[in-house]
């Protein structure tokens, strides 16, 4: 595709999202990197999002302009909020900022209103498919609504100029379900923050872990949709074979209280951020990613950058970045026994574990957020150019008809 605009012509971008830093999740993490990347390139960014607390007011700092609107907690995700569909206020904020392009990252009521506002204002809007909510809902006893959720998501995204997804598998799945103009925009990892050099003997001592113990690490939301049952089953199986096996959980969620009650030996560290999170990653040995619902899983590449051997199903970030038995271990999607055998292999083969950890870190260094931000800008420019071209063609057609 030939673009009629360059990154230098993109001066203002609006991002609409129902989650943003300091909230901790994959969407907020990805958007944080994109926003910082845009600003570093001299592009002003307007972020429209729900108010996270009472004093979370709209504000501008340097090239970042935050517009906060009312919202309510998401059922089952009380730490996150969805925004109200205040289309008139969103449209007013967008028109005042006058962006060349809009990126809608979430499909809630605020996202819907933003797409409507963008279309009414004639501004290019791209959407992101960051979360498999149509799969999540079955874990909250609403499985009968999964088909309805998929239809809503398809209608939502097809109202935009295109949908950005993190993997080729996700693109193929959505296209098979009738989503239009689906494009892959990969994810990066901060190899300066997440590094094997952050490994902390002091932290391992705090965990009660000896030098020759094997630490299984999990980082993320501790909830049913993340398949915590498989992580715990893997831990039990390895522990039965070797008492040196430890399980460390980093994160919070509705399943945490039950785990603490039934697995008192499991080390629960709560939420961690920044350098503390990097130390927790690097101080583990094997990273468990048992999820079957993530669209990507930034934790996979963060663990690889930290020098951990990742055990994952062959999908999402694992499919994109892991070559099994080279820089991690992959099990066929949904094959729980194979998943546990992958972890067992690492317990029985310390030389393989050592090699995987080294190769994982080397691979992660090649995944740069800089290139992802450049791709994001190109996607926005490309969509804008297509809208301009389409509008020109319509004007020319109208003029031709008028002269007939």
Residues 359 and 379 in one domain: no
Q: How far apart are CA 61 and CA 399, in angstroms?
A: 45
Residues 47 and 175 in one domain: yes
Residues 330 and 397 in one domain: no
Residue 111 lies inside a defined structural domain of this protein: yes
Residues 372 and 321 in one domain: no
Residues 20 and 142 in one domain: yes
Domain span at 273: 196-364
CATH number at residue 44: 3.40.50.2000
In this prediction, residue 73 carries a pLDDT of 83
* Six token digits for residue 175: 């296209």
Strand order in the sheet with 214-219: 267-268, 245-250, 214-219, 286-289, 309-313, 329-331
Q: What angle do CA 289, 291, 297 make, to 5 degrees?
A: 70
Residue 2 lies inside a defined structural domain of this protein: no
Residues 6+ apart with CB under 8 A from 99: 12, 13, 14, 46, 123
Q: 125: helix, coil or strand?
A: strand
Q: 331: helix, coil or strand?
A: strand
Residue 219 lies inside a defined structural domain of this protein: yes
Q: How far apart are CA 344 and CA 372, in angstroms?
A: 35
Residue 1 lies inside a defined structural domain of this protein: no
Residues 206 and 337 in one domain: yes
- Cα-based torsion angle of the residue sequence 32, 37, 40, 44 in order, rounded to the nearest 10 degrees: -70
Beta-bridge partners for 294: 131
Residue 49 lies inside a defined structural domain of this protein: yes
Q: What is the pTM of this model?
A: 0.87
Residues 210 and 174 in one domain: no
Strands 59-61, 64-69: pairing kind:
antiparallel
In this prediction, residue 2 carries a pLDDT of 32
In this prediction, residue 384 carries a pLDDT of 76
In this prediction, residue 82 carries a pLDDT of 84
Residue 59 lies inside a defined structural domain of this protein: yes
Residues 276 and 312 in one domain: yes
Residues 62 and 173 in one domain: yes
Q: Average pLDDT for consecutive 10-residue bins of the chain (404 residues)? A: 47 96 91 97 97 92 95 74 92 97 95 96 93 49 63 95 94 94 96 97 96 96 94 98 97 96 97 97 98 93 98 96 98 97 97 98 95 95 67 45 44
* Six token digits for residue 276: 């503390």
Question: In total, how many domains does the chain have?
Answer: 2
Residue 304 lies inside a defined structural domain of this protein: yes
Best CA proximity match to 315, nearest among 227, 209, 200, 201: 227
Residues 132 and 201 in one domain: no
Residues 213 and 184 in one domain: no
In this prediction, residue 399 carries a pLDDT of 44
In this prediction, residue 344 carries a pLDDT of 97
Residues 280 and 225 in one domain: yes
């Amino acid at each position: 595709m030939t673009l009629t605009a360059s990154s230098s012509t993109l001066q203002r971008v609006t991002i609409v999202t129902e989650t943003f830093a300091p909230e901790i999740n994959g969407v907020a993490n990805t958007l944080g990197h994109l926003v910082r990347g845009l600003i570093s390139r001299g592009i002003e960014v307007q972020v429209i999002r729900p108010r996270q607390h009472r004093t979370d007011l709209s504000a501008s700092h340097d090239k970042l302009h935050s517009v906060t609107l009312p919202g309510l907690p998401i059922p089952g995700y009380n730490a996150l909020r969805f925004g109200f569909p205040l289309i008139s206020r969103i449209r007013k904020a967008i028109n005042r900022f006058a962006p060349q392009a809009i990126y809608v990252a979430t499909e809630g009521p605020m996202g819907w209103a933003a797409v409507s506002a963008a279309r009414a204002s004639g501004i290019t809007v791209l959407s992101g498919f960051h979360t498999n909510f149509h799969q999540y809902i079955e874990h909250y006893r609403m499985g009968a609504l999964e088909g309805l959720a998929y239809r809503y998501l398809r209608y939502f995204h097809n109202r935009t100029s295109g949908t950005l997804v993190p993997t080729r598998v996700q693109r193929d799945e959505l296209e098979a379900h009738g989503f239009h103009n689906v494009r892959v925009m990969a994810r990066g990892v901060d190899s300066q923050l997440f590094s094997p050099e952050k490994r902390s003997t002091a932290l391992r001592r705090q965990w009660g872990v000896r030098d020759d113990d094997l630490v299984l690490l999990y980082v993320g939301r501790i909830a049913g949709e993340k398949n915590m049952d498989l992580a715990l089953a893997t831990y039990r199986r390895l522990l039965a074979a070797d008492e040196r096996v430890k399980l460390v959980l980093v994160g919070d969620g509705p399943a945490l209280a039950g785990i603490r009650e039934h697995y008192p030996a499991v080390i629960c560290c709560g939420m961690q951020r920044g350098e503390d999170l990097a130390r927790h990653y690097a101080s583990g040995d094997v990273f468990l990613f048992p999820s079957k619902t993530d669209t990507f899983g930034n934790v996979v590449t963060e663990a690889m950058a930290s020098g951990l051997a990742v055990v994952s199903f062959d999908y999402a970030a694992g499919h994109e970045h892991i070559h099994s038995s080279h820089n991690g271990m992959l099990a066929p999607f949904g094959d729980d026994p194979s998943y546990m055998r992958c972890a067992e292999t690492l317990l029985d083969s310390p030389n393989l574990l050592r090699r995987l950890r080294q190769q994982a870190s080397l691979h992660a260094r090649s995944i740069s957020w800089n290139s992802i931000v450049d791709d994001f800008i190109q996607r926005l420019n490309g969509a804008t150019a297509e809208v301009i071209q389409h509008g020109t063609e319509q004007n020319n057609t109208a003029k031709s008809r008028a002269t007939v």
